[in-house]
Amino acid sequence: MNDSSYLEMDFEEALQRYIQTDPTEMGIAGVANMKKNKIDNLMLAFESKAHIDQNGIEFWYARDLQKLFGYNK
């Protein structure tokens, strides 16, 4: 494949070809996916501790958040 044919690819195709040609990138892609899963889980945990007052304002109690952040006291 010559250099000009790379310009005709969309981003996803180019990314997939890059990952396939460099095996070390597979590890990086896996780490990125694990980080996204961890972030998603943290967001769900954070949102599960949210409260809404009578005016519709969302808030969190510090005692709930300290557990999410790993503090004991």
Say what the pTM is.
0.46
pLDDT digits (tens, 9 = 90+) for 6-59: 456 677 776 667 666 666 655 665 666 767 778 888 888 888 999 999 999 999
pLDDT for 36 equals 76
Question: Which residue ranges make up each domain of the chain?
Answer: 8-68
pLDDT for 70 equals 83
Rg of the Cα atoms in the chain = 21
Closest to 49 in 3D by CA, of 66, 35, 37: 66
